[in-house]
Structure 1
Amino acid sequence: MNHRSLLTRLVQTMLTMALLAGLSACSVGVDLQRPAPVKQTFLIELQRDNILAPATAPSLVIAPVRMASAYEGRALVYRMQDDRFESDYYNQWFTAPRDQLGEAVAYWMRRGSVFADVLPPTLAGEADYRLDLVVTDFYVDMRDAADHRARVTLQAYLSARETAGRRLIARVEVAADAAVVPAEGESVGNAQSRVTALADALGKALVKLETSLAQALN
């Protein structure tokens, strides 16, 4: 190979490398200009009528809610297959789910007819009863592509205050689901629709729980 051929090949190689570098820079430039997905945050909101409890109804305190480990994080959780769950990084709860659920349960029981009042944790020693809750299911089931459903399961332990300590009155497990209703013009529900369905399922579960607690106290 003569010097001229070698020089020609060297120039061609350098031009090719320069072209590839330019294309790479253009590609990076496009990626940098692409808007990043926006993270959304949500609150659990329940609505129910206020029912006056009898003056003789007992008081209640709600212990800190415990969540199954799969649902402790702030990301919404979806069940994709029987043994596969996914968390949604871009759609999250505004605060820890256990805190939101604790506030939601307190709101529900305070407006119901079973307990005269729901006391704050600082007055736990004054309450007639304590409610301990474990949330074992809190996800959106997407295994059926045509029927997404929110699922909530609660384990509840009601104990009475006594001189010698606390006495377990009732152990209850309730479960409920609710359909994810797509917004107009959508074939499947968006994140807001899933949050609404989770709130609906929670409300249904609390109706069952309240009924069971009333029966345990009678």
Structure 2
Amino acid sequence: MRTPLKALILCLAAATLAACASPPLSRPAPDRRLFNISAQRPEAAPAPKNAPLAATVLKVRPLQINPAFQGKEMVYRLGDSRFDSDYYNTFFTQPAQNLTGQVRQWLARAGLFGNVVDSTSQVADTHLLEGMVNALYGDFTDKGAPKAVMEAQFFLVANKGDAYTVLFEKDYSRVVAFQPGGGDAAALAQAYNKALAEILAELEADIRQALNSRK
């Protein structure tokens, strides 16, 4: 009676070891989905025609992001002080890099400055834009009404002969609801797009007002 039982145990052990020894590439890869946040400005504004404005250069510095939200994995708020990250649903690039590029592209199409460049450009700037993303998460505290939360702070700085003056500073916040369901991550990504577009439209209007007030 002991021999068949012992043989069965040995067979099971051998099968377990064989499975563990399988080459990693032969195992099915986890199903991960990648997203990017984007906000395309509807139309490009005409380039500045007057000489002073045409000579302006806005340099967009890399956005800083609250450490809690700077990773690629999507972050979900599940309770008053409970957050979790999603290994299977991530951003294609780091949020700081992604959002910095979106801000630069939006303002380049807005036509507020002669040129809009990134921080690596050697072109002398007349204005600087700095920003901090303070919140970027999906709020699932109410499972029946999830929301995308995006909060940011921007500074517009004028540069005259290396003398820097803050033209304005403002906090921006958007909470965009989306329908719960099996595709929560995809719906959250779309809600982020809407939140970012609304923030950048407001930022553009504020920059325009700040520039006009100094004419």
TM over 0.5: yes
Matched, 1:209 2:199: no
Once residues 135 and 145 of structure 2 are traced to their aligned partners in structure 1, the CA distance between those partners, rounded to angstroms, is 18
Please identify the structure whose Cα radius of gyration is greater.
Answer: 1
TM-score (norm 1): 0.80
Query: What is the Cα-based RMSD across aligned positions, in Å?
Result: 2.6
Within a 5 Å distance, the mapping from 1:41-190 to structure 2 comes to 41-48=34-41, 49-56=43-50, 57=53, 58-123=56-121, 126-181=124-179, 187-190=181-184
Deviation at 1:144, TM superposition (A): 1.1
Match of 1:39 in 2: 32
Once residues 175 and 17 of structure 1 are traced to their aligned partners in structure 2, the CA distance between those partners, rounded to angstroms, is 66
Higher mean alpha-carbon deviation, 22-31 vs 141-150, is at 22-31
SS of alignment partner, residue 166 of structure 2: strand
Relative to structure 1, the CA distance from residue 164 to residue 37 in structure 2 (aligned partners, 3 Å threshold; closer, same or farther) is closer
Q: 1:108-130 CA deviation, whole Å, 9 max, x = no partner?
A: 11111433431232446522210
Higher mean alpha-carbon deviation, 19-28 vs 143-152, is at 19-28
The code of the aligned residue for 1:196 comes to Q
Which ranges in structure 1 are unaligned for 5 or more consecutive residues?
1-10
TM-score (norm 2): 0.81
Aligned residues of 1:60 and 1:119 also touching (Cα < 8 A): yes
- Paired residues in the alignment total 203
Deviation at 1:180, TM superposition (A): 2.5
Relative to structure 1, the CA distance from residue 25 to residue 38 in structure 2 (aligned partners, 3 Å threshold; closer, same or farther) is farther
Which ranges in structure 2 are unaligned for 5 or more consecutive residues?
none
Once residues 214 and 145 of structure 1 are traced to their aligned partners in structure 2, the CA distance between those partners, rounded to angstroms, is 39
The code of the aligned residue for 1:37 comes to P
The code of the aligned residue for 1:166 comes to Y
Deviation at 1:201, TM superposition (A): 0.9
Higher mean alpha-carbon deviation, 160-169 vs 73-82, is at 160-169
Bigger RCO (CA 8 Å, 6+ sep): 2
Higher mean alpha-carbon deviation, 41-50 vs 145-154, is at 41-50
The code of the aligned residue for 1:74 comes to K
